[in-house]
Amino acid sequence: MNPIRVLVVDDAAVVRRQVSLLLGADPGLEVVATAPNGRIALAKVAQFQPDVVLLDLEMPELDGLETLKLLRQRDPELPVVMFSALTERAGMLTLEALALGARDYVTKPTSAGGLNITVEAVRDELVRKLKALNVRTPSATAAPFPVTRAPQPRPQTPARVEAIVIGASTGGPGALVRVVSSLPADLPVPVLIVQHMPPLFTRLLAERLQGVSALTVREAVTGSAVQAGSVWVAPGDFHLAVCRDATGVRLLTHQGPTENACRPAVDLLFRSAAEVYGAGVLAVVLTGMGQDGLRGCRRVNEAGGQVVVQDQASSVIGSMPGAVEQAGLADAVMPLDAVAPELVRRVDPRGRRT
């Protein structure tokens, strides 16, 4: 198998050099060119035909967002990974880039001395994402959906839904916008979301979702009462769980050990929801890399709850929902645009909503 051809675009020469060396050390990757700004990057895309583009956000002459817009006009399918600083401005720009069609992002590690790109950061995140997002070479971690396997039938009538829990990773911010924006203002259950993102980015994601939703969307805070009509997003680097006390169900956020190398983890939220709501849980697994959510869906299934997953064709990366479907835990597998209507139908199976 030929190595994945990468174009590295960043205005800092030291970043281009360090990233090129680190990516080039992986036999599955080849840095075919670098560029200091978007104008040069567009020319090199045409010249070198890379498989994946690593694109800095803030650059002179033509920044990352404008470059991405032009790339999408020329090649809607070319995978682009944004290279973002961990700042509020960069977070807002990153979410905008994801909305414009970037497949994923990686945050730049920083230290007191400035940019400090480490071998570990690249090996554990950047290399993995570049390989997974290369459309020419499917990721070894991506589990394809079986073509013929049907969702497992349930012998009994599903219980009344009391809460919706959603897990997402790669491609999730865009998918969440489309799902949450389509939920009605009178949704009679709460919605809790785990999206694999770092601190700050999750708050910005909650704000973006609030801007498109008829529901109230907030970043989760420990002790908050879980109420119908509210959407809660797990804060970056904190797990999100629910617990029941004498006054009702409340949120719990904590920094317990990572699960599936993630914090927040989908599995942990799904398990806690199954413990609190039992058969009243409706779990949703959207696009994402890895298998976070698989064990949680098994717990939901054992509690008698329901599971809906996004299909492979509409997923940026299908391994998270695909793992659940392959395990026979999905009650429904469907395109992204069908997810919100399906959730509304399952919340109110008598069809009073339109």
Catalytic residue among 20, 84, 139, 169: 169
Q: How far is CA 112 from CA 57, 109, 115, 124, 317, in A?
A: 21, 11, 8, 22, 35
Preceding peptide of 153 cis, ω within 30°: no
Catalytic residue among 292, 314, 319, 331: 292
DSSP labels for 194-206? Answer: EE---TTHHHHHH
Number of separate helices (H) and strands (E) present in the chain: 12, 16
Whole-angstrom Cα distance, residue 192 to residue 163? 8
Name the residue type at position 299.
Answer: R
Catalytic residue among 51, 104, 196, 239: 196
Active site annotation includes 169:
yes
Active site annotation includes 292:
yes
What would the two tokens of residue 320 be? 């998270």
182-211 in b/e form (b: 16+ CB < 10 A) is: bbeeebebbbbbbbbbeebbbbbbbebbbe
Catalytic positions, please? Answer: 169, 196, 292
